[in-house]
Amino acid sequence: MKPTILLTRPREDAEKLAAMLTSHGLEASYVIAPVMEIVALDPEIEPTGYSGVVLTSRYAVPIAARTFADLTAYCVGGATSTAAEVAGLKTVSANGTADDLVALLMRENISPLAHLHGTHTAGDVAARLTDAGLLTRSFAVYDQKEVPWPRATQAQIDAAHSLIVPVYSPRSATLVGARLGKSAANMTLVAISNAAAQAWDGPRPTKTIIAERPEGDAMREAIASQFT
């Protein structure tokens, strides 16, 4: 019986991931069931007086490109950096986690900085940089609004015999885990980071896989590894 891959990212991202996995010939059933949608916010941001902009998600790129077009964008990883480059920003990527980004900025020793992020964020980037002497202001520029699953989708997931569950953040791990309480599936958790895996509070997985790198390509590789 084919395993079911449960894709819970925002719908556009989940559909792209399903298409990529399908193109690699993974014989699986796909359930696209977002637990969040991205809602743009419109904070008041003074566009002058900063030496760089800090981005920990590609969802912050549009407002960064509008507000700080002449600044270097210091990005947590490849996906964010690529999105920022496409938007016309000069970028420097930490190619890792929030810890790697903080370490990079401390080496660069640049301030003041503007950190653009979601309402729900992890890593305490702005606070850690400010405590280290690099004044960093924090701006929530989008919200990760929780969305419910339709009853039929929940029933389909609960009935699955074998589930592969990728989680891309601690918050998504928490939200998804809470919704799988009725699942008796043989479950494989694929987490983008140790922090995401540790946030899981759902049914005990049969197996937990941590991506080799906290980025999309490594997550796809980790998912695909379950089909070899």
**DSSP assignment string, 44-63:** ----SS-SEEEESSGGGHHH
Task: Note the pTM of the prediction, 2 decimals.
Answer: 0.88
The fraction of the chain above a pLDDT of 70, given in percent, is: 100
Look at residue 71 in the predicted model and tell me its pLDDT. 97
Look at residue 26 in the predicted model and tell me its pLDDT. 82
Average pLDDT, rounded, for the chain: 94
Residue 128 has pLDDT above 90, yes or no: yes
Q: Mean pLDDT throughout 36-46?
A: 94
Give me the CATH code for the 39-144 domain, please. 3.40.50.10090
Domain ranges, ordered by start, for the chain: 4-35+148-227, 39-144
Q: Mean pLDDT throughout 16-37?
A: 91
Look at residue 36 in the predicted model and tell me its pLDDT. 96
Residue 108 has pLDDT above 80, yes or no: yes
Distance CA 59, CA 109 (A): 25
User: Is 4-35+148-227's fold the same as 39-144's?
Assistant: yes
Distance CA 177, CA 171 (A): 10
Tokens of 136: 């960093």
Return the closest-CA partner of residue 9 out of 59, 81, 55, 63. Answer: 59
Distance CA 26, CA 20 (A): 9
Tokens of 156: 């389909």
Instruction: Decide the pairing of beta strands 72-75 and 52-55.
Output: parallel
Query: Length of the chain in residues, anyone?
Result: 228
At the top level of CATH, the class of 4-35+148-227 is: alpha beta
Residue 209 makes CB contacts below 8 A (sequence gap 6+) with: 188, 189, 190, 191, 222, 225, 226
Residue 121 has pLDDT above 90, yes or no: no
- Please, are residues 32 and 18 in contact by the beta-carbon 8 Å criterion? yes
Residue 91 has pLDDT above 90, yes or no: yes
